[in-house]
Amino acid sequence: MALLQLSEPGQTDAPHQRRLAAGIDLGTTNSLVATVRSGNAETLPDREGRHLLPSVVRYTEAGVIVGEEAKASSIEDPLNTILSVKRMVGRGLEDIKSLGSRLPYHYAQERTAVPRIQTVAGDVSAVEVSAEILKALAMRAEETLGGDLEGVVITVPAYFDDAQRQATKDAARVAGLKVLRLLNEPTAAAVAYGLDSGSSGVHAIYDLGGGTFDISILRLNRGVFEVLSTGGDSALGGDDFDRVVAEWIMRQAGISDDAGRSMLRQLMHDACAAKEALTRTAVTELDVDLGNGARWQGLLTRDQFNELVDPLIKKTLGPCRRALRDADLSREDIQDVVMVGGSTRVPRVRELVGAFFQTEPLVEIDPDRVVAVGAAIQADVLVGNKSDDEILLLDVNPLSLGIETMGGLVEKIIPRNTPIPVARAQEFTTFKDGQTAMAVHVLQGERELVTDNRSLARFELREIPPMVAGAARIQVTFAVDADGLLSVEAMEQSSGARASIEVKPSYGLTDGEIETMLRDSFEHAREDVEVRRLREEQVEARRVVEALSAALSEDGDRLLNADERKQLESALAGLVALVEDQDHEVIRKGIQDLEKACEFYVERRMNASVSQAMSGHKVDEFE
Amino acid sequence: MLDFKKNYFELFGLPVSYVVDMDRLATRYRELQRVMHPDRYASASDYERRLSIQGATQVNQAYETLKDPMRRARYMLSLSGMDMSADNETTKDAAFLMEQLELREELEEARGKPDPYAAISELMGGINRRINSLIGQMAVQFETGQPEQLEAAKETLRKMQFLQKLRDDAESIETELDEVL
C-alpha cells in the first residue's frame, strides 16, 4: 500500500526512478541507439567504443550475427549476409527488383505478399532482419543503462509510406520492444538542433541517407516543431552514389554486367571507399581486384565524381521545390538548412543544396548521430520523464491517400502534407440493385493512375442492406494517427448498419504471422514469451497506479467530490493488490477495470487542461 | 476533451470573420495541440489516448479549414446554411472564363520553354495574385452577411476553384518535368 501514500493531499511525488527509454535510428547503412542521461542526449557505443552499428545481419547455422562482424563477411558470404534491408521493408518483390540496386539474394518462391530471403538459417523477411538490428541496439542500451527499456522511439524517413511504417513497427514487435512513437527522421534532427540552439523560425531539413532522401520544412516556436511540409524519395541515397561510381569503374576496367556477386559487392565497397576519400581529397586512387590475379588501377577526381553524382543530387531538388510550395513559402523564407545523413558529407551535396536555398548549410552536429539524438530526446519526453523544455512535434502525412475509382483512376481523400492525426470521411454508394458488398482499394501516392501509386490495402464492405442502386450511403472514414498509420472504418448511413471491413495489407504481415515470428524469435533467445508478458503487465500496472496517484494528488481535490475520490481510491487499491499477481491476464483485467472506473475523471482532467490552455482568450477580447 | 459542438472559430477563440489573424490562429493551434496531442498521452490509458486522438484530429481539421481561404469560405457558407458540396453551378462571367482559357494555353506552352520552371513559376505568380484579389472581394462579401452578398461570395468561390485547379495542374506539370530529370 506504500504507493497510495503518494496520493495523500499536500504531499509531492516521491522522487521516482527515471524511466528508461531510447531513441533508435534504424538506418539503411548504419543504425544507432541514443538515450538521455543526466540531461544529455547521447548515442551509446558498443564495448569496443563504436557508436555506429552497421545495419548488416548475417545468418549462419550457428546463429545470427549483427553489425561489424556481419559486414566483414558480406563479401565471402553474400547470400546469407543481408545489407540495406531498410530498402526492402514494407515492399513487395516486384518493388525490390525495380529498385535498381543489385541485390544478390535468393528469394523463396512462395505466394506470400511479403518476400522472404533464403538463408542457411531458413527463410527470413525484411521485418525479421530489421528486428535483429533492433534487438542488438536495445540490448546495447539495456546493458549500458542497467535495466529494461520501457519504450523506444524509432525513426523512419518522413517519406516512408504506410506499408513501410507498419513493417517498421512490426519489426519492433518482433524484437519485443514497445514503440512509443515512429518519428520522422528530419523531425528528429530538428529536435536535436532546435534544443541545442533554442532557435525559432522556419527551417529546412535536408536528409540524404544511405538509401533514402527526405526534405522537411518546419516552423519552430517555443518548443513546438510544426512540420509544414515534407517530400522526398524513399529509394534514393548514398548507395546510389556508390552504384554510379561502381558502374563507372566497370566501364573503365571492362568488367561485364554479369560479374559474380562477390565481385559486385567488392566493387560497391571500392566505390564507397572512393566516395569517402573524395570528401577529403581532390583525387583518389583506385585499385580493383579483378579476380584471376589481375588488377585494374586508375584515378577518380572529385570533378569526375561530381559529374557522376550530379544527376542524383539534382533529383533531390525537385522535392525541395515542391515542399516549399506545399508550405506556401519561397526560398527566402528559409532561415537555415540543416544537413542530416552520412551522404551530406559529400561536398558537392552541400554545394548544390546551399546554392538552392541560398544559404550556407548547417553541419554542426554529426550528421550520422543527429537523428538518434533527437529520437532519444523525444523518447525521454514520451516515456514520462518531464523535462523543462516541453517539446511537441506536429507532423504531416507525407503522401496523399486515396481510393480507386472507375477507370483505374485515384480519388484523393487525404492530400499530402495534411497535419496528423487526421480523419476524413467519404461517401460511397452502390451501383446495382440489391448490391450487398463492394470492394475498396486504398492507394498512396500523388499520381492519377492507380498503377502509378502504391497499393496499401484492399477491403470489402459487406452486409450492406439490399436497396436500389444509388440508395445506400456508405460512409468510409480514413484515419491517420500520429505515427502516420492508416485505419479504415465504414458505416451504412441510412440504416446505421456497420459494414464489416476486412483490410488485407498489400505488403504487410498479418497479426498471426507476427505472433509466430515473435515466438520464433524468443525461442532462439531461450526466453519465455509468457514470462515476458507477465513482466510487461506488472510494469504497466505499476505505471497506471503511479499515474493515477500523481493525478489525484495534483487535482483530485479540485475535480472530484469526496465520494468520487473515495471510489477511485478504492479502485486504485484494487489494482495495487494485483501488481504482484503471477497471471498476466489477471493483471491486464485489473488495469482495464481501473481505467474504466477512471473514465469520467480522465474527461474532467482533459476538459480542465483545454480550458486552461484557452483561458484568457475570450472572443470579445478582439471585438 | 474538446467540445465538438463549438464551431471552428469558437474552438480557436476567434471572432467569426472571413478575415483571420493568421499569427493568432497559429498560436492558438499550438496551444490547443499542446494539451490535446496524442504524444501528451503516450503512456496514458487507451481511453485517454482515444479522446486525445479525437480532439487532436478535430483541432487539425479546424486549423486546416480556417487557414485555407477556399475551405474557410466554404465553411462560412455552410455556417449560413449554404452547402457548397452540392453546388453544380459554374461561373457565367464570360471575361473570367476567357482569361482562364488563355492562362491554360500559357501553361501548356510553358512546358516547351527553354526554362520551363521559370515560365511556370511566373504563371503561378499571376494565378496567386488573382486568387489574392478574390480573397479581398470575399472578405467584403462576408462582412455584411446579407443574402445577396453571400450569393456573391459563392460566385467568388467558384472562380477561386477554377484558379485552384489551374494551380494544381501547373504543379503536376512541374512534377512531370522533375521526373524526366
Looking at the predicted structure, is the pLDDT value of residue A568 above 50? yes
Angle, helices B46-67 vs A584-614, to 10°: value is: 30
Pair B122, B48 in one domain: no
Looking at the predicted structure, is the pLDDT value of residue A621 above 60? no
- Give residue A99's pLDDT: 58
ipTM over 0.85: yes
Looking at the predicted structure, is the pLDDT value of residue A442 above 60? yes
Here the cell at position B117 is 520552371
The helix (H) or strand (E) run that includes residue A477 is strand A474-480
Give the chain B residue nearest A421 (alpha carbons).
B57
Q: What's the whole-number mean pLDDT along residues A509-522?
A: 65
Average pLDDT, chain B: 88
- B31 with A614: Cβ contact below 8 A: yes
Chain A: nearest CA to B137, how far in angstroms?
21
Interface of B with A in 65-124 (CB under 8 A): 117
The answer to whether position B81 is within a domain reads no
- What residues in A contact B1, CB-CB < 8 Å? 603, 606-607, 610
Residues in chain A, overall count: 623
* Predicted confidence band of residue A179 (pLDDT cuts 50, 70, 90): very high
Q: Hey, which of A99-113, A230-244, A482-496 has the most confident mean pLDDT?
A: A230-244
Q: Given CB atoms, is B51 within the 8 Å cutoff of chain A? A: yes
- Give residue A14's pLDDT: 39
Amino acid at A447: R
Domain count, chain B: 2
| Residue B126: domain span | 94-180
Cell 486552461: give the residue: A612
Residues A421 and A482 sit within 8 Å (Cβ to Cβ): yes
Looking at the predicted structure, is the pLDDT value of residue A444 above 60? yes
- Give residue B16's pLDDT: 92
What is the spatial distance between Cα B120 and Cα A318, in angstroms, rounded to a whole number? Answer: 14
User: DSSP secondary structure string, B27-49?
Assistant: HHHHHHHHHH-GGGGTTS-HHHH
Pair B52, B103 in one domain: no
* Predicted confidence band of residue A53 (pLDDT cuts 50, 70, 90): very high
Interface of B with A in 114-173 (CB under 8 A): 117, 171
Residue pLDDT, tens place only, A184-227: 999 999 888 875 555 678 999 999 988 889 999 999 888 889 99
- A606 with B37: Cβ contact below 8 A: no
Looking at the predicted structure, is the pLDDT value of residue A44 above 90? yes
The answer to whether position B150 is within a domain reads yes
Chain A: nearest CA to B45, how far in angstroms?
7
Pair B105, B171 in one domain: yes
Select from B67, B82, B107 the last residue of a domain: B67
Q: What's the whole-number mean pLDDT along residues A342-371?
A: 92
Pair B45, B110 in one domain: no
Select from B48, B67, B86 the last residue of a domain: B67
Looking at the predicted structure, is the pLDDT value of residue A477 above 60? yes
The answer to whether position B87 is within a domain reads no
Residues A77 and A58 sit within 8 Å (Cβ to Cβ): yes
Residues A408 and A450 sit within 8 Å (Cβ to Cβ): yes
* Predicted confidence band of residue A6 (pLDDT cuts 50, 70, 90): very low
Give the chain B residue nearest A448 (alpha carbons).
B172
What is the spatial distance between Cα B180 and Cα A177, in angstroms, rounded to a whole number? Answer: 42
Chain B: nearest CA to A140, how far in angstroms?
24
Q: What's the whole-number mean pLDDT along residues B89-94?
A: 82
- Give residue A459's pLDDT: 78
Pair B108, B63 in one domain: no
What is the spatial distance between Cα A289 and Cα A388, in angstroms, rounded to a whole number? Answer: 57
Here the cell at position A466 is 439490399
Q: What are phi and psi of A440, to 5 degrees?
A: -120, 135
- Give residue A46's pLDDT: 93
- A610 with B31: Cβ contact below 8 A: no
- What residues in A contact B178, CB-CB < 8 Å? 315, 318-319, 321-322
Pair B98, B153 in one domain: yes
Residues A98 and A454 sit within 8 Å (Cβ to Cβ): no
The answer to whether position B80 is within a domain reads no
Other CB atoms within a 10 A radius of the CB of residue A536 amount to 17
- What residues in A contact B60, CB-CB < 8 Å? 418-422
- Neighbouring residues of B118: CB distance < 8 A, sequence distance ≥ 6: none
- A614 with B36: Cβ contact below 8 A: no
The answer to whether position B125 is within a domain reads yes
List the single residue in A325, A602, A622 with the smallest CB-CB distance to B15.
A622
Pair B58, B113 in one domain: no
Residue pLDDT, tens place only, A386-408: 665 578 999 998 889 998 888 88
Specify the CATH number for the domain of residue B38.
Answer: 1.10.287.110
* Predicted confidence band of residue A12 (pLDDT cuts 50, 70, 90): very low
Of A127-131, A489-493, A581-585, the poorest mean pLDDT is in A489-493
Q: E strands, chain B, where?
A: none
Looking at the predicted structure, is the pLDDT value of residue B170 above 80? yes
- What residues in A contact B56, CB-CB < 8 Å? 421, 482
Other CB atoms within a 10 A radius of the CB of residue B105 amount to 10
Chain A: nearest CA to B80, how far in angstroms?
19
- B31 with A418: Cβ contact below 8 A: no
Residues A365 and A376 sit within 8 Å (Cβ to Cβ): no
Annotated active-site positions of A, please?
A: 25, 86, 185, 207
- Give residue A119's pLDDT: 86
User: DSSP secondary structure string, A137-149?
Assistant: HHHHHHHHHTS--
Give the chain A residue nearest B178 (alpha carbons).
A318
Evaluated on CA atoms A241, A246, A247, A248, the torsion sign reads: positive
Looking at the predicted structure, is the pLDDT value of residue A4 above 50? no
pTM of the predicted protein model = 0.82
* Residue B1 DSSP code: -
C-alpha B117 chain-centroid distance:
25
CB pairs A-B closer than 8 Å: 131
Q: Hey, which of A372-376, A380-384, A428-432 has the most confident mean pLDDT?
A: A372-376
The answer to whether position B141 is within a domain reads yes
Chain B: nearest CA to A547, how far in angstroms?
8
Pair B99, B174 in one domain: yes
What is the percentage of chain A residues whose pLDDT exceeds 90? Answer: 39
The answer to whether position B89 is within a domain reads no
Residues B7 and B61 sit within 8 Å (Cβ to Cβ): no
- B47 with A619: Cβ contact below 8 A: no
- A392 with B39: Cβ contact below 8 A: yes
More confident call, B8 vs A437: B8
* Residue A106 DSSP code: P
CA angle (A262 as vertex; A261, A264 as ends), nearest 5: 65
Looking at the predicted structure, is the pLDDT value of residue A362 above 60? yes
The answer to whether position B102 is within a domain reads yes
Cross-strand bridge partners of residue A412: A402
- Give residue A489's pLDDT: 79
Pair B120, B176 in one domain: yes
List the single residue in B2, B64, B175 with the smallest CB-CB distance to A610.
B2
Specify the CATH number for the domain of residue B117.
Answer: 1.20.1280.20
Here the cell at position B16 is 467569426
